[in-house]
Amino acid sequence: MASELNNSRRAWSVLIVSTLAFTVCFMVWMMFGVIGIPIRKMLNLNATQFGLLTAMPVLTGSLIRVPLGIWTDKFGGRIVMATLMAITVPAIWLMSYATQYWHFITIGLFVGLAGGSFSVGTPYVARWFPKSRQGTAMGVYGAGNSGAAVNKFIAPVLLVAFGWAMVPQVYAAIMLGTLVLFWMFSHSDPKHLVPSNVSFRDQLKALKDPKVLKYCQYYSIVFGGYVALSLWMVQYYVGEYGLDIRTAALLAACFSLPGGVLRAVGGVLSDKYGAHSVTWWVMWVSWICLFLLSYPQMDFTLLTVNGPATFHLGLNIYAFTGLMAVLGVAFAFGKASVFKYISDDYSHNIGAISGIVGLAGGLGGFVLPILFGALMDLTGIRSSAFMLMYGVVWVSLIWMYWTEVRRTEVMGRHAAA
């Protein structure tokens, strides 16, 4: 009895301190979403260049996820997470001394390693809990995505008061302090290690599994879309509605905050109702929101019997923010439900599979901001970003219907056979 109580306390200690660490890592990962705006003005970047700037940290944070998942299975989450955080501290600090575009691109690649923390913490915390509660545990840990919103609260204050260069310096100090706390209050258990001599190439063979590919597609929108919009929304508000950076960041947090914090609720719902039911509704809600968000501001003229009549069609700032908040909630639930799929289907190698799916989601977060910028430069329409995401959600809905909904209906009719 005492042993079970002690294990429970250690499990919750691991979950709490790991979630804190992931929140700080995600805050650092999303740093360019705010400081990128003055940097864009300083370097006179176009929308495509700005998209590439914000996306570079996402690239390394994505590519490193698969090996990090494998190393977590093999060496344990505590040592891998601590090492990862320690490596990023110097890079974050050096960001404040960058002056040229290639400086930001290069240093951003190293800062982006912080984004790989997701593939470390997910299997690390999951193994401390029974399978019936793993969805909840991973959902709570995944709530560290709210670091994107924390960035939008902290960075604008530092930026306005001291200039953008102060932001990475403060973030480096926060990361170092969090590393100390994590090491003090986290634990390791040799029973959680998975002995393996499987190579990186062998692990990638899991991509031949149609289910893994499907989960990658789902995650590329609910996580990749979340990351991309978290990076894009501050400058969107500034450009579309003419807001100052502090107000824009505050309103952008209406998407980022529920999109992170409510992931824990998504984990609970996934445990209770199943991964498929939650993901199905997430996709439909996202589809509706993105359809409405896709419409640009427009004026149109009708020829009436009384002469031409001009009307304006477009979302005002309140309707836009409300839809973004609903989209953030949907993405939060979807991020949790996708990983519930993984814990149900691949409990024996959750680290490697979560790394692969996390890689797909992260690559979505890397590619989408670049495409957002390219589409805006090409069309001049800011809402083209939502048009693109609307199409991606359509792909997920069609794939889900034919591989899960239809199959369930057919199996239901012929269950006896």
Ordered domains of the chain (ranges, CATH): 2-186+201-413 (1.20.1250.20)
Q: At what angle do helices 210-222 and 384-400 cross, to 10 degrees?
A: 150
Is the confidence at residue 131, as pLDDT, over 90? no
Is the confidence at residue 44, as pLDDT, over 50? yes
Which regions of 158-221 does DSSP assign to beta strands (E)? none
The fraction of the chain above a pLDDT of 90, given in percent, is 31
- Give 156-186 pLDDT, tens digit per residue: 989 888 999 999 999 999 999 999 999 998 8
Burial of residue 244 (CB within 10 Å: 0-12, 13-18, 19+) is exposed
365 in helix, strand or coil?
helix
Is the confidence at residue 409, as pLDDT, over 80? no
Phi, psi (degrees; rounded to nearest 5) at 90: -60, -40
- Rounded to whole angstroms, how far apart are CA atoms 84 and 118? 11
- Give 250-306 pLDDT, tens digit per residue: 999 889 888 777 877 887 888 888 888 888 899 999 999 999 999 888 888 888 888
- Give 57-113 pLDDT, tens digit per residue: 988 888 888 788 778 878 888 999 999 999 999 999 999 999 999 999 999 999 999
Match 């359509």 to its residue by tokens: 394
- Rounded to whole angstroms, how far apart are CA atoms 368 and 230? 11
User: Quick check: pTM over 0.75?
Assistant: yes
Burial of residue 340 (CB within 10 Å: 0-12, 13-18, 19+) is buried
- Rounded to whole angstroms, how far apart are CA atoms 382 and 312? 17
> Which amino acid, residue 182?
F
Q: At what angle do helices 65-75 and 117-126 cross, to 10 degrees?
A: 30
Contact criterion met (CB below 8 Å) for 119 and 68: yes
Beta bridge partners of 304: 307
In 3D space, the residue among 236, 235, 252, 253 whose CA is nearest the CA of residue 37 turns out to be 235
Look at 18-22, 61-65, 195-199, 303-307 and tell me which has the smallest mean pLDDT: 195-199
The H or E element containing residue 303 is strand 298-304
Phi, psi (degrees; rounded to nearest 5) at 381: -110, 115
The H or E element containing residue 235 is helix 224-241
